[in-house]
Structures are given as structure tokens and as C-alpha cells.
Structure 1
Amino acid sequence: MSEAEGDRLHRALLAVWADPRGWRALSAVSHGRIGRRFLLTGGAFFLIGGLLAMLMRAQLARPEQALLDHRVYNQLFTLHGTLMMFLFAVPILEGLAFYLIPKMLGARDLLFPRLSAFGYWCYLFGGLILLASLPLGLAPDGGWFMYTPLSGAAHSPGPGADVWLMGTTLVEISSLAGGIELAVSILRGRAPGMSLDRMPLFAWYMLVTGLMIVFGFPPLILAGVLLELERAAGFAFFDPARGGDPLLWQHLFWLFGHPEVYIIFLPAAGIVSTLLPVFAGRPLVGYRWAVLAAIGTGFLSFGLWVHHMFTVGIPLLAQAFFSAASMLVAVPTGIQVFAWLATLWTGRPRFAVPMLWLAGFLAIFVAGGLTGVMLALVPFDWQAHDSHFVVAHLHYVLVGGMFFPLVAGLYYWLPHFSGRMPSERLGRWGFWLTFGGFNATFLVMHWTGLLGMPRRVYTYPAGLGWDGPNLISSLGSFVMAMGVAMLLLDLGLHFRFGRRAPANPWRADTLEWATALPPAAYNFASLPACATRHPLWENPALAQGIAAGRHGLAAADHGRRETWSSEPLSGRVREVVQLPGNSWLPLGAALALAALCLALLAGAYGLAGAAALASLAILLRWSWVNGAHPLAAPDARTEPGDPPLHWRTFDGPGLWGMGLSLLADGALFFSLIFAWFYLWAVAPNWQPPARSPLPALALLLDGLLLGGIVLGFRRLLARLRRRDCRHLEARLWGLAAAGLLQALGLAWILWRTPLAPGAGAHDALVAAILGYLLLHCALGPLLTALQAWRVRLGLVGERAPYEPAVLARWWSYCLLAFAIGYSALVLLPAGWAAGR
């Protein structure tokens, strides 16, 4: 391709991929724009959270200080932890991954661009709800963990806890959307030939992280819903007097909370595994071991949640098990550390600014890991659990394990955002001030904790030996703040005065450095094949071939946004994915959900119902015009030799997106069933009735009808795969009618069952489980009817057979959830009664 042809290709791609300008930029969905928004918003929340920390350290600098009273201190403490854990750590790492993953995988975008845009708006609105509570005097003060019963209506009667529940739920929805987006895009959106064993390590770590989010975040979403139902509607879930148990909240919270520690750590470890080989000048030692260690860390992290509950009175056998599991997770972490050290030992390290931050990470994180092993020992944890020692450990693990690699990554990828190189001098000043201030703050805090100072106190008397260490910690925190200020100064000057970056300035090996600096909106003019782990080391001229259009999908005259869809294991190209373009729908859906949260906070339940209907309508409209059907781009031709467009097949990315979404949904339902069995086995005042109030036969018949619908969908798909579309619309209308009948039957059962959810936890959980099943079963016929209408309009059929397979998974999940619910609510009580 000549230079003129390359310029024409560039202009044609920009016409399709360019982000809108002005106020219309709010409708942009490209991964680069969304990733930058996450990074900037997460950085703003970090600075606000740091300011709150400075106020708390100023209060604790001297004994009996009166800078803050206990009420304000508790609000600052709660919001500081919430901002750092929910609004900074996970979202900013997801934002970096949104920006980098398509570039690393040789793709033009993530596979669900509108989903990541929706995630950003939910994140922004949830964070604003939380932040606005402070100047309005409505801030939560129950701690970022919101333990019951202190967060219940009796002990926290104001709206503060409700603000926390609503805001964090929106943020969790955002993180969940990001986890699904990243996992599916990594599994199905890679360059041709990029098999799993050739994938960049950062993508491996983000794949594990995305899957962890899918399973780890739903328990907290459920916990928030249950607590809000208890606070607002009087349901009994955590009240021991009514058969509940406040420890149920802790179990649900830490089912999320301990995996989240590794959800924060693994992306940072992925940054380390990506940067260290570049600055060591050699491949990472033990690539496969690093991958297995990341997978092992993700798997083991779900067996550690009681690590945080050693002091609440759980049985000694459980303490021994979770203590052993907490020490076992150090094994895969140690493998990664030794792989990094071996890479440095056998390479020739260049101590540029990013490498300096990586060295600081290794020192701090190893120290934090050692104190983590100490806290995994139950006798030591009993002594140190409620002291400043735990606060110091938490910051060593999270700040050392996440913030230092994040800054290293930002300096490393800074040319991508600006096209300029960072400043060595200002970068080194920022590092040493931050590193020194951090250790002065939190290393000394270990000593304070061992001297007996409890955490979560706003003042202390003089003469206990805590005065000097607290003053040193407070001074250190202000030195660390100076380091962060130096970083901000460096970044501010960088975009104006930094020297222009050459191509591949760090001599890196991964595909993101084969783009222009900064990259065009479409990333690659043509999509290269990648049959090696180090494409730029083995083919330094690859970038020129990509820009000249010598590789795949080097056309844009059809007007579609396209990228490859690959097989999950081998990386062989399977389809051409037609990506949806810019849209206002993600913003509209997030606004409707934010309005729903605000209406619930105000007690305006009529308005809340209207907002819920509006959000449903927008989401249904979104599914209708998703950019993956013939009318979205009438020109459906592909280049000779290219695979078909994904909506002409039976296995596009949407099928995987639905699968992972249902896994997340299942994790939430599993947590609800866990609550049922937990209270049944543990709650001292659990009072199930002598006979189940549910009509077992009617519920069984309703389930059999649901099973018939699933069987009908399977037969319909079998016909569709044979390209037999006769009576497709009629069959879908029939299945929709059967689904409506089944949902009405379930609604009648729920209405006729004499339940008193405010009187006891048993009835509250029965109502919650039946309500969950009814919500899902009621959506089924609505979605099926819309599918039948799409057949009538020609959007689904022999040429576009893609969507019914996606919908069939919804119905199969409803049947599985119904069977589990029936077993828990009917068969278990009947067997229990017979056994007695």
C-alpha cells in the first residue's frame, strides 16, 4: 500500500472511529476515551480521599486534640476508606485496563464499548452521591465496612448509611460491568494467533481479575440490598431478636472484601510483570509459573474471608482452617516475587523513573506480606486485630501493592496519553518524598499498634507512649502528600514541556507500542497476527506494516466499527465483530439508576418506581439498537477471505457476555442461598414454621412449566441451526405466552403465601428468594416477546440467527435458579421435618 493509500485508509478509519467533540463527547464509547475518564475521575477521588486522611492525621498528631469532634472524624474515616477502596483502587485499575487491553491484544476496541461507558457513568454518579453527603451533613459514619447492628436503623437512624448503600451499589455495578467487559474481551478479542500461552502477562492478570470481580462483587451488592430492605422496609435479616444474625453481614461483606484485596493487587502485579522485563532487558523468568500463580491467587482468595473475623467468636476449627488458608495464599504470591527478582538478577536493569517505583513496590509489598502472615496466626491476630498494627499492614499491602506499581505504570505509559516523555528529575523527587513519607507514616504505625493504640478512635490521652509515634506518623503523612503534589506538578508540566517521545521509547516488547504516540482512535490501521509473546522484540518493523495497512481489516468504506473475534484458547479468528458506535443510551441508563437511588433516599417511592421503569425502558431500547444487526449497517459485505460478521453466526461475543453476566447473577443468588443456610444453622433465634407456608405442589407445577419453556427454546435453537426458520415468530410468541403464564403463577404463589418479612428472618428470606425468582421469570417473557417482534421486522432469522441463543441462556438460568430455590425452600424444610 502506497503512502497516499495509507493516508486515505487513515482518514476513512477516523471517519468511522473518531470521538465526537463538544457536549456530544458525553456520548463517546471508545475504550480510550472511557479509560481516560476512569483514570482522571479515580485520580480526583484519590486526592479527595488523601485530603480526608490528612485531616485525620492532623487530629491524631497530638493527644486530646480538638481539631475534629468524634462525629466528623467518624464521617471522614468512613468516607476515606470508602473513597480509597471503592472509588479509587478498583476503578482506576479497570480504567487503565480499558485503555491498554485492546492495544496489547492487537484489537481496535473492547467488545462491549457501551457497557464500559455505562460502567463509567454509574461509577461517577455513585461517587458523587457519596461525596455530596459530606457538605450536606448526611455523610455515613459507620465505617467503610458498615458492620451491623451499628449500621442498622436503630443505631444509625439518619440517611448516612442509606447514602453509603446506594452510592456503593452503583459503584459495584460499574465494577461488575467492567469485569465482564474485560474478561470477555480478553478471551474473545485477541489478535490472530495470540493463543493464551502467548498473551501479555498484564492481560492474563486482568483476565483473572475480571473473573474474580464477576464472583466477588455480587455478595456485597446483595448485602447492601438486604440491609436497605431491613432499614427502609423493616425486613429482618441481621436482627438477632427476629431470627437474624449481624455476623451474616460480615460474612457477605468479606466474601467480597478479601477477594477485593487481590482484585486490587493482581492488576498491579500485572503492571510489574509487564514493566520489569522491559527495564531488565530480558523476558520474565517463569512466564507459566507467573500465570499459574495469578490463577492460584485468584482461586485461593475466595477461601480467606474469615481471616477478618477471627475475633468475632467463630469456632476454633474454622479459625484453624482459615488461618492455614491465609498462609497458603502466600505461596503463589511468593512465586511471583521470586520470578520478578530472578528477572532482575539475570537481566541488566535500567533505573528509569518507572523502575524506581517498582523497586519501592518490592520493598514495601514484601514487608506488608510478612505482617500479613503474622496476622494469619490466630493468637497474634487476637492481640493486634483492633490496633493500629492492622491499619499499618493494610496500607503496606494496598498502597505498596497497588499505588506504587500504578504510578510506575502511569510513568511508563505516559507517552501514550501525551506523546511526550516524563521528567526524570521531578519523577525522582516525587518518588523519594512519597517513599520516605509513606514509611515514616505506616512503619511507625506498627509500633503504635504494638503499644496498644486501638484503631477507629479520634483522640487519646497523653502519657501512654503513643504521643511521639503519632506525631511522626502525622509528619510523615504530610511528607507523603508533598510527594504526591510533586507527581501532580510533574504531570502538569509534562503535557506542556515534555520532550517528544520517539517510537517505542522504552524498547518494549508488547503491541501497544506498535501504535502512534498518542494512538489514533482506531488503534491500528490494520490488525496484525501475533504468534509470539514478544512481537516487537522479534519484529521491530511491525509498526510500519500495521500503519501501511498490510494486515487484517484494512478497510472502512462499509462504515462499520470492526475488530476480530478469536477462539478463546488458540486465538484463531472466528468472526468479525461489528461494534456499536457512540450512543446516549449508557448515560441515560446510568442517570435513571442514579435517579432511582436518589428517590429511594428521599423516600419518594412513586418517583423511584418511575425511575425503575425508565431505566428498564432505556436498557431495552439499548438491547434493541445494539449495533449488531443488519439495519445498523446496511452494507453487510466483508472482504474476501474474512470470516462472517458475528451476528450471522451462533457464537458471537454477546453469548459470552450473557454467560458471564449470569455467572455474576448466580454469585448473587448463591449468596442469598448461603444466607438462608447460614441463618438456618447458626442464628440462635431462627424460627422456621413447623410446616412450610409455600404451596409445594403449585410451586412444582410452575417449575415444570418453566422447564417446558427451556425445552421449547432448545428445540427452537436446533431448528435454527438447521436454517429452519419456519414459524419462528409464532414459536417465540408461544414461548412468551407460556413465560407470562409461569410468571403470573409465581406472582400468585408469592401473593397467596402468608409471609411476615418484618416479623422474622425466615419469612424475610423466603420473600427475598421468591422475589428474586419472580423478577427473573417476569423479564423472560418480555425479552421473548421483543425477540418475536424482531423476527417480524427481519432483524432475526436465517441471515441473523445470533440472538435467540443468547436469550436461551437466560431461560436456562431461570430454570436452574428455580430448582435451587425450590430445593432450599421446600425440599430442605420437608426433609428436616421428617428427620425430626
Structure 2
Amino acid sequence: MNALRRHRDLARIWDSPPGWRGALASVNHSQLGIRLILTAFIFFLIGGILAMLIRAQLATPGSAFAGPDVYNQLFTMHGSIMMFLFAIPMFEGFAIYMLPKMLGSRDFAFPRITAYGWWCYLFGGSLLIIAMLAGLAPDSGWFMYTPLSSKPYSPGINSDFWLLGITFVEISAIVTAVDIVVSILKVRAPGMSLDKMPLFAWYMLVTAGMMLIGFPPLILGSVLLELERAFGWPFFDAARGGDSLLWQHLFWLFGHPEVYIIFLPAAGVISTILPVMARTKILGYGWIVGAILALGFLSFGLWVHHMFTVGIPHMALAFFSAASTLVAIPTAVQIFAWIGTLWSGRPQLRMPMLYLIGFFVTFVMGGLTGVMVAVVPFDWQAHDSAFVTAHLHYVLVGGFVFPMFAAAYYWLAHFTGRQRQYRLGTLAFWLIFVGFNMTFFLMHLVGLLGQPRRIDTYPEGIGWTFYNLLSSVGSFVLAFGIALFVIDISLQFFHAPRSRRNPWRAGTLEWGMSLPPPSYNIGSIPHVESRDPLEDDPRLAHRLAAGKGYLSEPRRGWRETMAVDIVTGRADHILVVPGNTMLPIVTALVTGAFFVLMLLKFYWLTPLPLAGMAWLGWRWAAALGRKEDVGPLPIRGEETALTHAEVEDPPGWWGSAFLLAADATFFGALLFGYAYLWTIAPNWPPPRLMEASLLTLGLGLLGAGVASAARHRPAAQREGLGLAGTAAMLIALTLSAFFAPPPTEHAYNAALGVMFGYAGFHVFVALLAQLFVLRRRRAGYHSAARRAEPRIAQLWTDYAAGVTAIVLTASHVPALMA
């Protein structure tokens, strides 16, 4: 009876209210993960339909199925949807749903951030689909190369839809990545040290870290191009000191890591499913972790791999060609570990295994052609041909779609609570496998025969017709296979029998709960002593349901889960996460209003949503914290722990630190662009430099030093000094912007404008944070034990001080040298 009462109380605390209000306010990670997966799959189907239209156009020479303008929108939207609206959100949704369950947790570290990311993704993706339905879809390619995407060559708002919509979606990706990193590092079952984490968690940790470093350069490029299109700031205009290749550098600083960002989560799925299908343990756990880390590191040194034909020095060609070849080594380590696992086990040819075999065939072929295009002489011949398109699809579809289809069948019971009954899936697999290879293998051949990519038609009699026709037929076979896959999965939701718990006899924690899981995942949180806790203790699921773990008894209506030491997994403190709220959707709507006003050219109204976001950010922070010291609370037996409000480094501090890491990457890319234009672009330095002001420079550096050093003072002095120093930085930046020449004259001036704006924004955020802390201290929310909020505010202040010092120095030194 006590067990039933405990589960009822947990359900009351963690469930979402019924009805549409409950759906809008829900912050439950399982619901949000399912929403992301379903929405991403819908976008996948839309992108697939666009691909069929492309193949219909190319099936025969001189086809009039779609004119050049429509065709440009088709291939731009197809690439954009698949890269930005399907692949990344799909694995994010899967991670949001599955990671807490694998880690033995009840939720993510920041449930409201998870919900905010979902709504931003939905609204940003909808902007692009609305543009397509209105005939205003972007038409400059999913890579948006300048000057084709610049105002003179793309005068409508087509490119603006891409720039603003994708930036909106990227905000979702960044905040979700922060949530994933902090949750993996801090919100795990006690005892789960780093070397006991499931491999999927390692893959997602590196992937999310790559997102924090890889996505900001694309966001920066989108901001700069939109500023050029909207206000005439000439970052990419060579006549005014810009350079169009700057866009390619910023884009591929994101674009090549993007390939591995997509591949790594799928590889994590393989490393999880394969040993279960082979009835053995994964071979080379440590080697795989090392390969993941190496792949994440090396992927950021390959961006020029996509720019071999733009005319770069031979030494750079040799370096990036060697790096592009070297990255095959950590990939091969994983593949050999998987082959060794199969060799040492007893593989069962069940539905997930079929798709894993499909992965091995297609991804290895894509990897081999990747090594081919990494060699400069070959790349010079194959660049911008259909061969490269085929290679990309072998890597992305083979490396992501096939493993995710395997995941759909492996974890289907987790979502439906039912076991697979119908056998349409086998036929669907063979149609998908044959149709895919029929489509894209032939594209390798027609590419070697000289067919460029991104062409809407071709003449008859040059040897391309037969290959294009068969390739188009293959695309429709592939589409029929995907349709059967959808039917097969859908049938499992409604007509299949109930599944038993842990139908695959796996050892990871996500199978140690009822299917489908309740909103709180598990009745109590386990203490983990190995990588396969369910295999070591077959009764673990029953003991957890009976309340034999951590946090078994609900209290105070809190949503509690355990936070641990990052390395050892030792129980550190209790994390009390916020409950259902409308704040995420309201904040996403206000954020979306800013982008829509920019799109409609109502620039004079954009301060309103910016002010709304500042007010909502204040509300987000004000909803947390408490006015009393709670002290140690029981967590299991005689063990006790503090709540997150009373520890030095709660998840909120770590979240700010990782968000600032992404922010610093954005700033680093901005400084890279400034230095690149100074070195490469024509007409540098410009005729009129900024009027140097040593007084302004000194005031800014002094303010930065005072604001950062204030942390060592008592509370009352610290707040006064922090506010004074931050105000001095803001005044110095304002004066510097006043002395700077108009940003439309030259790219140097435009770069200064962006740097001053970036620093000013962060100083303003630091000022808000300090005012918030001042008010909270006076309201009684801070004490000797509750010091997290001042430490987080100081973190933002230190970052603003560092940025201000760098920006003022970088902007004044060239003028002083002139």
C-alpha cells in the first residue's frame, strides 16, 4: 500500500495537467523528446518529398517539370530541412527522451530550457515551411554562399527567411546542447562514474560539446549577412573592404563538424544496440571513448576540406588534406570495435540488426569516398559534381538514418509499451536499402562523367540520361520503403500486444522501468556499480520500484533528482527542478516576434521583444530559490545531502559556464573574421580609421578591472563596485561607438560596430544580473549557505569585463598605429 501511495504521489508531482494548457506548460523530458522526434520525422518526410521532386526533374534531359527558380528553392529547402530541421533535432529529441533514463535520473538539469528549445525549433522550422508554401523559400543553396545570397543577387526576402529561420533554430540547438552537457556531467545515478557511463552518454557528451563550439560560427555568419542585407554593412562586399570567402570560412567552421555531430549520436546508438544483438559486451570501451574524443577534436581542423578549389596556398592544402585523411582513423577504430563485438558474440538477425548491416555497407562506402575527396587532386576533379552529392548522402543517410531506423525498432516498446508483431518492416528495409543504393551509387558514376550538382536540367546525348533515369526510379523505390516503415511503426502503436519489461535482455538502466515509463521514470534512483547494472542485478528494477534506492519518498511537492560529482559519480546534492510553466512557450513566442519583425523590416519595433526577453529572463530567475536554509536532507537510509540552492557549484553555474563557452566561440569567430578581413580583404586599412580615444580605452579597461575584482569584497561593497565598474564599461563602449565612422562605409567600420554591439550587450546582461542579485539579497534569498546566484552573476560579469577589454583594445590599437 505504501508503494502505491508513493507512486501516486510521484505521479501527482511529475505529471502534466490534462488538456491543452497542460500540453503547452509541460516541461517533462519524455513528452518533449517525443514531440521533437515526431516533428523532426515530419520534416524528414517533407524533405523526402522535395527530394522526389528533384529526382523527377532530373529523370530526363530538358525536363520542364520545374523551372530554374522553383528548382533552386527545391534543392535549397531539401538540404536545409534535412540538415537543420531533421538530423540534429531528431537526435536531440532521442537524447532528451532517453538520456535521463539511461543515466538513472528523473529529468534533465534544466527542464524549462528543454521546453524553450523545443518551442524555438518548432517556430523557426515553421517559418521556413511557411516561406516555401508562399513561394518565398530560400533559393541560394543550403550553404547560402555569398555573393549569390547577398542583396544584389537575391533582392527578395527568400534569403532572409533562411538566415532568420535557421538562426532561430540554432538557438534551440545551443540551449539544448547546454542542457545535455550539464545533465550528463552532473545529473546521473550515484556511483555512475565517467568510466561507468553508457557509451551513448559519451557520444552525446562529445556531440553536445561540438555543438557548443561548432554552431556559433554559423550564427555569426547569419547575423553578419543579415546586417549586410538589411542595413548595408559590407562584410562580404569586396568593393567596400569585405570578402565573400569569409562566409565560406564561417559556414564550414560549422559545416564540417556538423557531419560528425550528426554521425556521433548514431554511432552511440550502434554501440548500444550491437552488443545486445550479438549477446555480448561491447569490445574496446576505452578505445571507443578515446576515438569519440579524438573525432570531436579533429573535426574542427577540417573546414577548408570544402574549400580546396577556392585558391588557397599549397601549404594549407597539404595540411587540411592530411587532417581530412587523419580523421578516418578514429572512425575506423569504432568500426573495428563493432566488427570485433560481432565476431566475439552470437549475432541475431532481428529487425534492428538488419538496419545495422545496412549501416555498415553504406557508411563504409561513404567513408571510402570521403578519403577520396580528401585528396586534393581528386577533389579538384570531383568538386561540385554529383559525385560529392552521392558521397554526402552515403555518409549522412548511411551514418545516421539507418542507425536511427534501427533505434526505432529497438526502443519501440519504450514509446508504445508494445512488442513488434507485424512483419512489414523486413520488406521496408529491403526497399529502403535497394532504393537508396540505386539512387546514390549511380550518382557517383554520373558525377565522374562530369555532371555538376545543383543543375536543373542537362542536354541529351552526353551520357547522363540512363544513370539519371535509374537514379530517379531508385528514389521512388526508397520512398515506398519509407512509407512501409511508417505504416509498420504506426501499427505497433495500436494493434500489437503488450511488451514485457526489458524484452531484449539488455543491461542498461532504461530497461529497468515499466513500459512506457511514468512521468518520473523510476520510483527511486539506483546506486550504480557497473556499466550493465541490470545484467549484474536482475532484480534491480523491482527493488527500485519498491523504493530501495535514492529519493524514494516524495516531499514538499518537489521534483527531486540526484546530482553527482562529475568524475567519481559520488552523490553530491539534491537537484530540485522546476515544474510545469508557461514561461518557455511565452519566451519562445517573444523571441520569435523579434525574428518576424526583422523579417518584415519593422526594425523600429524590434526593441519591444528584446525588452520582453529581458523581463522574461528576470522572471525565469526569480521563479527559483528560497528564503530559508533547508540544510541536509535524507536521500537513502542514513545518507543526507544538501539541495542545489546550498552548494557552491549547482547545475545553474555549470549551465552558465557552458553557455558562455559557446558565447566565447561566437566571439572568437568574430575576432577571426576581423583578423581575416584585415589580412586578406582589399582596401585595408580603410581611408578613415576610428578616432582613437585613450581616455575611452582607459575608462573601459578600468571599469572591466573593477567589475571583475569586486568578487573579493564583502557583499555590500561588491555590489556597489560591480555596478560602478559595469557602468564604466558601458559608457566606454558607447563613447567608442560614437567615435567610430559609419559602418556602411567600410567592412572595418562594420566589424567595429558588431564588436561594440556584442560587448555592449554582454555588459547590459551583466548589469541586469547584478541588479537582480542586489534585489534578491535585500529580499532575503541569499545567505552564507545560499550563494549560487551571486556566483553566477559574477561569472557573467567577468565574461563581460574580459570581452570589453578585448574589444576596446582591438578597436583602438589599429587607430593608434595609423
Hey, what's the Cα distance between the residues in 2 that align with 1:22 and 1:630? Answer: 33
Kindly indicate whether the alpha-carbon contact (under 8 Å) linking 1:558 and 1:635 is maintained by their aligned counterparts in 2.
no
Q: CA deviation at 1:407?
A: 0.8
1:252-651 equivalence runs, <5 A: 252-423=250-421, 425-625=423-623, 627-630=624-627, 638-639=634-635, 641-651=639-649
Range moving further from structure 2, 16-25 or 674-683: 16-25
Q: CA deviation at 1:740?
A: 2.5
1:801 is aligned, of 775, 787, 793, to 787
The one-letter code matched in structure 2 to 1:746 is: L
Query: Which residue number in structure 2 is paired with residue 760 of structure 1?
Result: 746
1:235-250 equivalence runs, <5 A: 235-250=233-248
Kindly indicate whether the alpha-carbon contact (under 8 Å) linking 1:152 and 1:227 is maintained by their aligned counterparts in 2.
yes
Hey, what's the Cα distance between the residues in 2 that align with 1:481 and 1:607? Answer: 45
Kindly indicate whether the alpha-carbon contact (under 8 Å) linking 1:190 and 1:564 is maintained by their aligned counterparts in 2.
yes
Residues 527 and 257 from structure 1, CA distance in 2 versus in 1: closer, same or farther, beyond 3 angstroms? same
Query: Which residue number in structure 2 is paired with residue 12 of structure 1?
Result: 9
Hey, what's the Cα distance between the residues in 1 that align with 2:79 and 2:512? Answer: 39
Is the partner of 1:263 in helix, strand or coil?
helix
Residues 330 and 358 from structure 1, CA distance in 2 versus in 1: closer, same or farther, beyond 3 angstroms? same
Q: CA deviation at 1:182?
A: 0.4
1:109 is aligned, of 103, 107, 110, to 107
1:651-672 residue CA offsets vs partner (Å, 9 max, x unmatched): 1111110100000000000000
Kindly indicate whether the alpha-carbon contact (under 8 Å) linking 2:631 and 2:642 is maintained by their aligned counterparts in 1.
no
1:796-821 residue CA offsets vs partner (Å, 9 max, x unmatched): 22342211111111111112222332
Kindly indicate whether the alpha-carbon contact (under 8 Å) linking 2:697 and 2:812 is maintained by their aligned counterparts in 1.
no
Q: CA deviation at 1:365?
A: 0.2
Hey, what's the Cα distance between the residues in 1 that align with 2:378 and 2:678? Answer: 32
Hey, what's the Cα distance between the residues in 2 that align with 1:40 and 1:690? Answer: 54
Is the partner of 1:565 in helix, strand or coil?
strand
Kindly indicate whether the alpha-carbon contact (under 8 Å) linking 2:178 and 2:658 is maintained by their aligned counterparts in 1.
yes
Do residues 72 (structure 1) and 70 (structure 2) align? yes
Query: Which residue number in structure 2 is paired with residue 687 of structure 1?
Result: 685
Query: Which residue number in structure 2 is paired with residue 826 of structure 1?
Result: 812
Is the partner of 2:562 in helix, strand or coil?
strand
Query: Which residue number in structure 2 is paired with residue 95 of structure 1?
Result: 93
Hey, what's the Cα distance between the residues in 1 that align with 2:93 and 2:700? Answer: 44
**Identity among equivalent pairs (%):** 50
Is the partner of 2:684 in helix, strand or coil?
coil
Kindly indicate whether the alpha-carbon contact (under 8 Å) linking 2:710 and 2:721 is maintained by their aligned counterparts in 1.
no
The one-letter code matched in structure 1 to 2:213 is: F
Kindly indicate whether the alpha-carbon contact (under 8 Å) linking 1:242 and 1:686 is maintained by their aligned counterparts in 2.
no
Q: What is the TM-score normalised by the length of structure 2? A: 0.98
Q: CA deviation at 1:5?
A: 1.2
1:746 is aligned, of 730, 733, 746, to 733
2:49 is aligned, of 51, 68, 71, to 51
1:178-193 equivalence runs, <5 A: 178-193=176-191
Kindly indicate whether the alpha-carbon contact (under 8 Å) linking 1:511 and 1:536 is maintained by their aligned counterparts in 2.
yes
Query: Which residue number in structure 1 is paired with residue 762 of structure 2?
Result: 776
Range moving further from structure 2, 638-647 or 803-812: 638-647
The one-letter code matched in structure 2 to 1:393 is: H
Do residues 811 (structure 1) and 811 (structure 2) align? no
Hey, what's the Cα distance between the residues in 2 that align with 1:12 and 1:630? Answer: 25
Hey, what's the Cα distance between the residues in 2 that align with 1:255 and 1:387? Answer: 22
The one-letter code matched in structure 2 to 1:827 is: V
Hey, what's the Cα distance between the residues in 2 that align with 1:457 and 1:538? Answer: 58
Q: CA deviation at 1:699?
A: 1.5
Q: CA deviation at 1:748?
A: 2.5
Kindly indicate whether the alpha-carbon contact (under 8 Å) linking 1:710 and 1:811 is maintained by their aligned counterparts in 2.
yes
Hey, what's the Cα distance between the residues in 1 that align with 2:698 and 2:459? Answer: 65
Residues 493 and 630 from structure 1, CA distance in 2 versus in 1: closer, same or farther, beyond 3 angstroms? farther
Query: Which residue number in structure 1 is paired with residue 695 of structure 2?
Result: 697
Hey, what's the Cα distance between the residues in 2 that align with 1:701 and 1:199? Answer: 49
1:21 is aligned, of 10, 13, 18, to 18
Query: Which residue number in structure 2 is paired with residue 156 of structure 1?
Result: 154
The one-letter code matched in structure 2 to 1:323 is: S
Kindly indicate whether the alpha-carbon contact (under 8 Å) linking 1:578 and 1:628 is maintained by their aligned counterparts in 2.
no
Kindly indicate whether the alpha-carbon contact (under 8 Å) linking 2:733 and 2:808 is maintained by their aligned counterparts in 1.
no
Kindly indicate whether the alpha-carbon contact (under 8 Å) linking 1:576 and 1:642 is maintained by their aligned counterparts in 2.
no
Kindly indicate whether the alpha-carbon contact (under 8 Å) linking 2:770 and 2:793 is maintained by their aligned counterparts in 1.
yes
Range moving further from structure 2, 738-747 or 67-76: 738-747
The one-letter code matched in structure 2 to 1:747 is: T
Is the partner of 1:141 in helix, strand or coil?
coil
Hey, what's the Cα distance between the residues in 1 that align with 2:576 and 2:480? Answer: 47
Kindly indicate whether the alpha-carbon contact (under 8 Å) linking 2:237 and 2:243 is maintained by their aligned counterparts in 1.
yes
Kindly indicate whether the alpha-carbon contact (under 8 Å) linking 1:352 and 1:424 is maintained by their aligned counterparts in 2.
no
The one-letter code matched in structure 2 to 1:651 is: D
Range moving further from structure 2, 755-764 or 607-616: 607-616
Hey, what's the Cα distance between the residues in 2 that align with 1:638 and 1:780? Answer: 37
Kindly indicate whether the alpha-carbon contact (under 8 Å) linking 1:729 and 1:792 is maintained by their aligned counterparts in 2.
no
1:437-478 residue CA offsets vs partner (Å, 9 max, x unmatched): 000000111001011111000111111111010011100000
Range moving further from structure 2, 777-786 or 523-532: 777-786
Kindly indicate whether the alpha-carbon contact (under 8 Å) linking 1:710 and 1:815 is maintained by their aligned counterparts in 2.
yes
1:741-778 residue CA offsets vs partner (Å, 9 max, x unmatched): 43133212212x13121110111101111111111112
Hey, what's the Cα distance between the residues in 2 that align with 1:693 and 1:730? Answer: 36
Aligned residues: 815
1:11-55 residue CA offsets vs partner (Å, 9 max, x unmatched): 010011002221111110111011011001101100000011111
Range moving further from structure 2, 806-815 or 742-751: 742-751
Hey, what's the Cα distance between the residues in 2 that align with 1:386 and 1:816? Answer: 42
Q: CA deviation at 1:689?
A: 5.0
Residues 378 and 211 from structure 1, CA distance in 2 versus in 1: closer, same or farther, beyond 3 angstroms? same
Hey, what's the Cα distance between the residues in 1 that align with 2:786 and 2:322? Answer: 53
Hey, what's the Cα distance between the residues in 2 that align with 1:595 and 1:641? Answer: 49
Kindly indicate whether the alpha-carbon contact (under 8 Å) linking 1:281 and 1:348 is maintained by their aligned counterparts in 2.
yes
The one-letter code matched in structure 2 to 1:759 is: E
Hey, what's the Cα distance between the residues in 1 that align with 2:620 and 2:5? Answer: 33
The one-letter code matched in structure 1 to 2:101 is: K
Q: Which runs of 5+ in 1 are unaligned?
A: 717-727
Q: CA deviation at 1:568?
A: 0.8
Q: CA deviation at 1:537?
A: 1.1
Hey, what's the Cα distance between the residues in 1 that align with 2:634 and 2:724? Answer: 38
Q: CA deviation at 1:330?
A: 0.1
Hey, what's the Cα distance between the residues in 2 that align with 1:419 and 1:333? Answer: 35
Q: CA deviation at 1:729?
A: 5.1
Q: CA deviation at 1:606?
A: 2.7
Kindly indicate whether the alpha-carbon contact (under 8 Å) linking 1:736 and 1:782 is maintained by their aligned counterparts in 2.
no
RMSD after superposition: 1.5
Kindly indicate whether the alpha-carbon contact (under 8 Å) linking 2:700 and 2:804 is maintained by their aligned counterparts in 1.
no
Is the partner of 2:554 in helix, strand or coil?
coil
Residues 483 and 571 from structure 1, CA distance in 2 versus in 1: closer, same or farther, beyond 3 angstroms? same
The one-letter code matched in structure 2 to 1:245 is: D
Hey, what's the Cα distance between the residues in 2 that align with 1:813 and 1:776? Answer: 8
Kindly indicate whether the alpha-carbon contact (under 8 Å) linking 2:707 and 2:724 is maintained by their aligned counterparts in 1.
no
The one-letter code matched in structure 2 to 1:789 is: R
1:72-97 residue CA offsets vs partner (Å, 9 max, x unmatched): 00001110000000000001101100
Hey, what's the Cα distance between the residues in 1 that align with 2:692 and 2:409? Answer: 61
1:415-434 residue CA offsets vs partner (Å, 9 max, x unmatched): 11000112462111111110
Q: What is the TM-score normalised by the length of structure 1? A: 0.96
